Structure 1
Amino acid sequence: MIKTYKVMLLPNNKQKTKLVECAGVARWAYNFALAQQQENHKQGGKFLSDG
């Protein structure tokens, strides 16, 4: 059985700024990798995996 816990974050302004920045970087990295995959597939290649 997997237990989960729900927590509420109460970041201050500096922490909020850092969280937003980290989310932006993660979004950029995801979109970059997705674009690479799509370009590779368009050129007849297979989708790359992490394994």
Structure 2
Amino acid sequence: MILGKKVRLYPTKEQEQKLWQSVGTARFIYNWTLARQEENYKNGGK
């Protein structure tokens, strides 16, 4: 059974910058969504 694979990337500087930008965007969206869910829960929502 294969549980996961590790892959090593060798991005150029430009690609690395884009990867980190994407990670930052995903983190922002995750935190924003989590805050909205917590706010909704505090206000009596599910």
Q: TM-score, normalised by structure 2?
A: 0.87
- Number of residue pairs matched? 46
Structure 2 unaligned spans of 5+: none
Change (3 A) 1:3 1:42: closer
Cα distance in structure 1, aligned partners of 2:45 and 2:3: 41
Q: Output aligned runs, 1:1-51, within 5 Å.
A: 1-2=1-2, 4-46=4-46
Question: Comparing both structures, which one devotes a greater share of its residues to helix?
Answer: 2
Structure 1 unaligned spans of 5+: 47-51
- State the Cα deviation string for residues 3-51 of structure 1 (Å, max 9, x = none): 64322100010000000000000000000100100000000110xxxxx
Runs of 4+ residues deviating >4 angstroms: none
Greater RCO (Cα-Cα under 8 Å, separation 6 or more): 1
Q: Percent of aligned positions with the same letter in both sequences?
A: 50
